[in-house]
Every structure is written in structure tokens, then in C-alpha cells.
Structure 1
Amino acid sequence: MISLNPYLTLTVQSLGHEAQHLIIVDEVLSDPQALIAEAGEAAFRTPAPGSRYPGLNAPLPQAYKTLVATELLPRLLPHFGVTPQPLPLFGFFGVATQAPDAMDVRQAAPHIDAFSLNSFASVHYLFEGDLGGTAFFRHRASGHELITPSRSYSFERAKRLELDGFEGSGEAARSQFFEPIAAIEPRFNRLIFYRAGQIHYGQVQASSPRRLTANLFFGIR
């Protein structure tokens, strides 16, 4: 049975100069192996066209989505100044199968998931060992860390101009165009929650079927 751990811990962290909150939830599920077992039965497929996820995806169980939406989300939203409310959500299991040196520059570049201030994302690490956490960035040219509706057009245009024709590696592009502001280490049964407009990148260390995550997106239509 998938249920919240009554002894989970919340840590609120401020990111960069803009001091947007990120929440780290440790020991989030009472029995994370129950969710991993669901992943073991899921049908993993190549992501839909347009996705730059470096691996395979599978549907998340409805019980997990409902649990996070109804029991965890109301505890997290107030830290962002948002009244607890139902938000549309979707998500997937992700397994990294593409090595960093095999990614194209756009796959390896930091990105956002959405730019609405009432849109959020979570990543739940379901693996042991250092297979890569999540890093957050400041866009060097604009100085932005959180992309909002008023910043979205100029950010996407600048990023496109920077990456079009860039001949270096993804790592070189990250270094040249983005400045790291935080890196969250992966820990088994740890979930991180942040605004979907926060510039970030999944730090995949190597192609590994063990790097299993549960990814949710809230308020993104």
C-alpha cells in the first residue's frame, strides 16, 4: 500500500539571489518498495515526440498521484504563499537510459517545465547511490533563475539563440550560458518540490536502469 510516512521531514531551502523556495521531503513514503514494485510492473516506453527526457517513461499509479495531491501538496503550497487547492496534475516514472555524453545540447541544457507561478514540479528519487540529483541554475545573460510569464518569451528566445549552432558539449553549454545556484543530492525516498519555472537540470551521471524517479507536474495545463 502506498502511504505517506508519518515521520517524514520537510526542509525548506532558498535558491539563489531570487530566494525562491525549494522543499526537500525525506522519507516521504512509509513503504517506497510498494511504489518501486508498481514501476516493475509498468510498461516503459520512449517518451512522446517533443520530450527531451533522456530515457524511458511509464504511467504513475493513480494511488500515488492522489496521495501526493491530497495529502502532501496541502502541506507544501503554503511555503510558496499559495493557498492549498486542487491543481491539475500529470506525471510519469522515469528511468535514465541515455548517457550524458550521448545527449544533444538541448537535452543537456537546463530547462523549465512551465512558467506559471502556480505551476509546480516534484521529483521523487527511488534509487540508491549517487546516480545524479537535480541542479538549479541562473541564466547568465538575463540573470533570471525563475522564469515567469513576463520573462518567458525573452528567456526562450535567448536560449534558442545561444544553443542553435553551438558546437560544444552539453556540459560546455551549461557552463557557458548558465551559472549553478544549487544542487540537490539524491537520497532514496527523497522528494523535492519546486516552482515549475525554476531553471533546472537532472544530473544524470550515467545510463542506468537503476535511476528510477517518480515525476509529477502540478497546475500545468
Structure 2
Amino acid sequence: MDIQVHEIGVEKNRVVVIDDFLPDATRAVEAAAGLSPFPPETGTAYPGLRRVVTPAEIAADAYMVALLEQAAPFIGGVFDADAFDLLEASFSLVTRRREDLAVAQRVPHFDSPDPGLLAVLHYLNDIPGTGTCFYRHRATGIERVTADLIPQLHAAAVQELAQFGQPNPGFIGDSDERYEKILHVDGRFNRLLIYQGALLHSGFIPEDFTFSEDPRTGRLTGNLFVQVSGR
């Protein structure tokens, strides 16, 4: 494994990046393919398909268990967690084309303002130019959203709508007039990311992206959400 812990932005929030994470990651791709086609995501603003994994899907569940077990030391060590609970395990594919994105999908987002909610993202295909990026909101300086900052972020978004108009069609990508990119992590096969869901972030999707719905060729990720309790 090649392990990096980035401390990003003014707040020095931590993002863990680990390469060559699992010795048999190709099995996860086959497990995901066995569950396809995935249903469209409706519960969040994720721009594509998501398949929640349950213990009934034996091969897929075994992968998620292995992913969680291997990630556990980093969750505990880097994020000062005594313990954690698994909230959800899923496979995801980005499939929504630029012209179909809602306004909220064209800007960075956060998963939860709870600092104890961590996202664990495992890249399962090599697709050049893809990745995950983290951002600072220029007008407010917000990098990690807390419950008390949500009204401020919302008010700034209203002002920016009047000043700049609607966000440009498509995924945000690099810095723009609203957001400054503070970390870009390339998407590589068997690369793992761990970060607080409260960080402003977005998938990085290149212009020539094919939006495949096939787990063997699309932007397939294994995703865990965990809730940690601190020391």
C-alpha cells in the first residue's frame, strides 16, 4: 500500500488516499456486475446509479466487509475514532450527462454536516481523467460544512445566483468564480479515499467521459458511509 494523509485548506481537514488497497479488487468488479443493472439514485443528489448492498448478496457483501475491515485502522488512527458503525454500503456509477444535471449537481456538495460521518470511496475501474475534488467556497471561506454554517452558505448561494447567474452546465471540475479547488485526487483502480462527508467535494468528470452503465467499464466505486464516535 502507498498511504498519503492530506491536510487540506485553511482548516487542515484530513483526506486519506491509499493505493493498491485490496489484493483482490477485481473480484469486487465482478460482484458488482452480478448485481447490474443498478437502479437510479433517488435518495440523494448522486448523479447516476446506486446499488445498496445487503448481506443477501454474498460476494458483494464479502467485498464490503473486507473493505471495512481494511479501512478500520485508518478510520481509527487518522480520525481519532474509538469506534464506528456502518450506515450504508453500495456500488455507484456516474451516468447522468452534463445537460441533465440539476443545479445542485453542478456545484460541490456535502453529504452531512455531522463531523462524525465519514465517506469511504474505493475506485474500481481505471478511467483516465476522473477523480474526486475538494473545494473552498470563495465568498464564505467554508471548506467543511457544519449545521450552523448552512444558512450562511445558502444565503451566499442566493447572492451568487443574482451576481453570476446559474452555475455552468456540467460538473464543476476546476476552480470557478464560486469555488476554489483545494485538492484533486485522480481516480485509479484500487485507490481508496476516506474523508469527512461534511467537506465540500465533487466528482471530477472529464469532457470525454462515456457515462457507461456497465460496472466493468463505467466509473464504478464501492462506497461506505460510517458514523464514528470520538475518543
TM-score range, shorter chain: 0.7 to 0.9
SS at match of 2:81: coil
Residue 28 in structure 1 maps to residue 21 in structure 2: yes
1:99-110 equivalence runs, <5 A:
99-110=97-108
Residue 208 in structure 1 maps to residue 208 in structure 2: no
Query: Is 2:92–2:220's contact at 8 Å kept on the other side of the alignment?
Result: yes
Alpha carbon RMSD of aligned pairs, Å?
A: 2.4
Output the CA distance in 2 between the equivalents of 1:182 and 1:156. 23
1:159-185 superposed Cα distances (whole Å, 9 cap, x missing partner): 355458933514697612111111101
Identity of aligned residues (%): 27
Query: Is 1:24–1:192's contact at 8 Å kept on the other side of the alignment?
Result: yes
Equivalent residue number for residue 179 of structure 2: 178
SS at match of 1:144: coil
Equivalent residue number for residue 78 of structure 1: 77
SS at match of 1:85: strand
Output the CA distance in 2 between the equivalents of 1:126 and 1:70. 17
In structure 1, runs of 5+ residues without a counterpart are 1-7
Query: Is 1:123–1:192's contact at 8 Å kept on the other side of the alignment?
Result: yes
Please identify, of 56-65 and 14-23, the stretch whose mean Cα deviation from structure 2 is larger.
Answer: 56-65
Equivalent residue number for residue 39 of structure 1: 32
The two structures have a TM-score, normalised by structure 2, of 0.81
Equivalent residue number for residue 143 of structure 2: 145
Residue 68 in structure 1 maps to residue 70 in structure 2: no
Please identify, of 141-150 and 64-73, the stretch whose mean Cα deviation from structure 2 is larger.
Answer: 64-73
Output the CA distance in 2 between the equivalents of 1:207 and 1:102. 14
Residue 92 and residue 172 in structure 1: after superposition, are their counterparts in 2 closer, same or farther (change >3 A)?
Answer: closer
Equivalent residue number for residue 193 of structure 1: 194
Equivalent residue number for residue 112 of structure 2: 114
Residue 163 and residue 218 in structure 1: after superposition, are their counterparts in 2 closer, same or farther (change >3 A)?
Answer: farther
In structure 2, runs of 5+ residues without a counterpart are 54-59, 213-217
Read off the aligned partner of 2:103 and give its amino acid letter: V
Residue 59 in structure 1 maps to residue 71 in structure 2: no
Query: Is 2:106–2:171's contact at 8 Å kept on the other side of the alignment?
Result: no
Output the CA distance in 1 between the equivalents of 2:87 and 2:112. 13
1:96 aligned to which of 86, 94, 101: 94
Query: Is 1:100–1:204's contact at 8 Å kept on the other side of the alignment?
Result: no
Query: Is 1:13–1:23's contact at 8 Å kept on the other side of the alignment?
Result: yes
Read off the aligned partner of 1:121 and give its amino acid letter: A
Higher strand content, 1 or 2:
2
The alignment of Structure 1 onto Structure 2 pairs a total of residues equal to 211
The two structures have a TM-score, normalised by structure 1, of 0.85
Output the CA distance in 2 between the equivalents of 1:71 and 1:112. 25
SS at match of 2:16: strand
Output the CA distance in 2 between the equivalents of 1:70 and 1:127. 21
Residue 194 and residue 142 in structure 1: after superposition, are their counterparts in 2 closer, same or farther (change >3 A)?
Answer: same
Please identify, of 93-102 and 21-30, the stretch whose mean Cα deviation from structure 2 is larger.
Answer: 93-102
